[in-house]
Structure 1
Amino acid sequence: MSLESAGPGAEQSGRSGRLSREGGGPLHAQIRDILHRQIVDLALPPGSSLPTEEELQRQFGVSRSVVRQSLAGLSDLGLIRRQRGRGSVVAATPVLRRHVQQAGGLDEQAAAHGQRLRTHVVAIEPSPPPQAGTEALNTANTWKIERVRYLDDLPVAFMRTWVPRDFFPHFTAELLEDTSLLGLMRDHGYHPAGGPRQVQAVSSDADLARVLHISAREPVLLLQGVTRDALGHGLEWFNVWHSPNTVFDVDAQVTSQPGRVSQEHIRRLRNLTQQLESELADLERGPQ
């Protein structure tokens, strides 16, 4: 799956709230993206009612069939509920929370919040990683694994991971489906210990937007890193793109800054050092 940049047409219409009738894509998709953006930005909070089909027709100047296609798209994404007698109501969007300083254990982190993650393997194939991955794993003989993580049927992360084939020659899509990758590593004698990570905001391209059910060029959080075992063997090198409804929790600590040391304090420490050296010398000489 390529992650190349997409054109700005749908992005501009989604941000401005206006339809682009020339080069902006299907009208129903533009309306869906505009309403999607309003929901994500909390202009339409959970439980609130969307405008009626007639109101949306007048607002956007489109037919009822176009409006119904837009609402069906939002319903398929799990963003609205269509209720008889109430029309369309904004659904509560689940939020994935993860600790950026914790390696792995995403399933356990979700379970701690009463949530369950599901994993779907998109592809697995022999493929060398980029140069940074080759250096981190100390090999180019790797599997490239692409997976999508779902939370309450909502896609929340797209994962592209490289693992050494020499360590895990038996990996298949069936084996990895809906299974913890690090758990499989432990089952086969390799115990992940952790490694450096970095998080940055990037713009989603058309392919990534389609996978995560978001707008093209919408900002997402990219987590990159390597996981090693206690002996320093590289077990995985990965890129994980998180949907906008992901919250990274960080346990920040205040670093105490040493104050200015007074000359009196230095003098006392020197006196104490001299006293200790004198007593040690007496002990070394032994009883006279």
Structure 2
Amino acid sequence: MGALDGWKLGWIGVGRMGTPLCRRLLEAGAEVTATDPDHTRIAALAQEGLRAAMTAAGLAEQTDIILSMVPNDAALLAVTLGPGGLAEEIRPGQVFIDLSTVSPATSAQVAEALAARGADYLRCPVSGSTSTAASGTLTIFASGPEAALDRCAPLLGVLGKETLRCGTAEEARAVKLMVNLVVALTPAIIGEALAFGGRLGLDWEAMVEALSKSVVASPLLAYKAGMLKARDWTPAADLDLIAKDLDLALAVGLREGAPMPLSALARQFAAAYQASGEGELDFFRLATWPERLLAPNPR
């Protein structure tokens, strides 16, 4: 017996993160119907039991709980408030869970529209990577109605190792942006330390090993240590994505009067890599930023 036997779920967005998460739900016994602008993504999981729907509204007609993992604010608005969106068909008793990283303001628009339909809305952005999504070890920041969170706890338990309840409205959105600021700044700071050590004649791999075994070690650095040592920038989360998250946070900070000079600097580093056509590389490519100041053709 699977943890989600008998659950009828809808899923919006079968991309880099959505694919392993859908697979976990299927393996837990859920009946999952999905929609995505790229229909080949759904076809790739069809043999594992994933069903297809043409629109988000179609999911609301067929399922009890709908989840989404989409890339940005515009995509969330399109699948909820746009033509064929959830707001056309979602009804009282249904729950919409969005796992994406989006702005609190856009999320509040969605909340207002779904409240008018009598549906529950859970904001559940996740912290982790494609590998932690596949293993079910994401951390989930959750806010929304307590009763809906209680109802969906077994489902969230399949997707993540821990669900941190943050509040009843947009608090989870703020927490995720706060965490992502530290995530975005980490490779920039590490890059400066590695450049310093390199000037003193230290070996690149030895420096990464020292950092990963020191007081500054973190789960993020542990996950990225092998990538850093090999200088392999195959993306788990790419620079374009982290730049989008920084833009979201900086916009909120500007509106709220929060000083964010370091985050703004990290955004400019990301912009430099994007300008050179490297936006699709892993965001830990930012650790090589000092090399841009020292050599015209960094590796």
- TM-score, normalised on structure 1? 0.26
- TM-score, normalised on structure 2? 0.25
More helix by share: 2
More strand by share: 1
Structure number with higher relative contact order (C-alpha < 8 Å, ≥ 6 residues apart) = 1
